[in-house]
Amino acid sequence: MKEDIHKPVYVTQPSMPPLEEFTEYLKLIWESKQLTNNGRFHQELEKELCNYLGVKFISLFSNGTLALITALQSLRVTGEVITTPFSFVATTHALWWNGIKPVFADIEPEFYNLNPDKIEAAITPQTTAILPVHVYGNPCNVDKIQKIADTYGLKIIYDACHAFGVKSNNNSIMNFGDLSVLSFHATKVYTTIEGGAIVCHDEITKKRIDFLKNFGFAGETTVVAPGINAKMNEVQAAFGLLQLKYVDTYIEKRKDIARIYREELKDVKGIKILHDIEGVRHNYSYFPILVDINKYGISRDELYAILKKENIYTRRYFYPLISEFPSYKGLSSAAQSNLPVAEMVAQQVLCLPIFPDLELNYVNKICSLLKEICNAK
């Protein structure tokens, strides 16, 4: 195998649109001299994203983390928020930056999303909202979560950073809950280099979010709230307009890779893979596997190390759990006994390389290697 794989292969790599096409946008930016503050491309991108995603209102942000922080601000979420420990740290950090106490509830064992059956027991008089994550772009149980929120009068903000373009029965997954937050970071399926967005369902909320991301300015001399600066600039927006032309092709290429992984790995003992859900349009943002040491023969960490030696850089998304980091470890809900499923998945999960430019023969090589390692045990 060593001779075959020379170039390092990373878990992801952004797809670059044709440079000539980007310079056309740059020329227009140079001519207009408008670099930011709701410029032409910013406005165009909001419109095009609403169309593409099938949502009513979207506000662009400089990154997903500031969008999460602002989403919580815009609904005046306070007190305690129930969330998942199985996510990227920014999910919980957004609560911390708002002075909100995170309350971790366990995930379900099928798709590793927040388990709706664990939410009610975590509700206290201080609870004001639920912050679930559509992990790997697989939709949460949105109906069950909505029912709980309605019963207890809670807001729902979805961290949809993995879920760009995901639809359930032809309806954008972003149309559920009160707000959905997207990230357009370079490592995501759709990117504006750095960037993010909040999807909301009415014009008044959209206006409030737009005030909040621009220092609270409602007019030249009117400041209506203590806002922050989280605006997307024109270069990011132009890059986003260009990426939008290609994103369906990117997702198709990801799907081809997922198909090979699934076909090749389906009979490997001790490797669990996730399958597509009927009625869902997936985006194939990640390809996670679970490695069961007892059946596969070696641990996830040993496999990670062996692949790294072969120049294949997988990632342990998400390990450690957010609840294991020093800022959150002291919370009673962070106790391992409260999060058994999340603990198990965090010990076993490994995300394999998946990105549009990944050559299919590399995918086959990675699969052969995974089989060889198993058979050698």
Ligand X SMILES: *Cc1c(COP(=O)(O)O)cnc(C)c1O
Among 35, 33, 373, 48, CA closest to 231: 35
Task: Give min distance, CB of 288 to ligand X, in A.
Answer: 13
Cα 337 from Cα 320, distance rounded (Å): 15
Residue among 46 and 159 whose Cβ is closer to ligand X:
159
Torsion of Cα atoms, 328 then 334 then 336 then 337, to 10°: 160
Residue 194 tokens read as 């750095």
Task: Give min distance, CB of 187 to ligand X, in A.
Answer: 7
Residue among 87 and 214 whose Cβ is closer to ligand X:
87
Write out the DSSP string of 62-117. Answer: S-HHHHHHHHHHHTT--SEEEE-SSS-THHHHHHHHTTPEEEE-PBPTTT--B-GG
Other CB atoms within a 10 A radius of the CB of residue 330 amount to 7
Task: Give min distance, CB of 285 to ligand X, in A.
Answer: 9
Contacts with ligand X by CB under 6 A lie at 63-65, 87-88, 90-91, 133, 159, 161-162, 183, 185, 196
β-bridge partners, 214: 229
Residue 317 tokens read as 């998304």
Task: Give min distance, CB of 319 to ligand X, in A.
Answer: 14
Residues 6+ apart with CB under 8 A from 255: 282, 284
Signed CA dihedral, 195, 199, 200, 202: sign only: positive
Task: Give min distance, CB of 63 to ligand X, in A.
Answer: 4
Task: Give min distance, CB of 129 to ligand X, in A.
Answer: 16
Cβ-proximal residue to ligand X, closest one? 64
Residue among 164 and 296 whose Cβ is closer to ligand X:
164
Distances (CA, A) of 135 to 25, 46, 206, 332: 34, 24, 25, 24
Residue among 162 and 208 whose Cβ is closer to ligand X:
162
Cα end-to-end span (Å), the chain: 17
Residues 6+ apart with CB under 8 A from 241: 25, 41, 44, 45, 48
Residue among 88 and 319 whose Cβ is closer to ligand X:
88
Residue among 137 and 270 whose Cβ is closer to ligand X:
137
Task: Give min distance, CB of 281 to ligand X, in A.
Answer: 19
Residue among 313 and 362 whose Cβ is closer to ligand X:
313
Task: Give min distance, CB of 218 to ligand X, in A.
Answer: 26
Residues 6+ apart with CB under 8 A from 17: 239, 242, 243, 245, 246
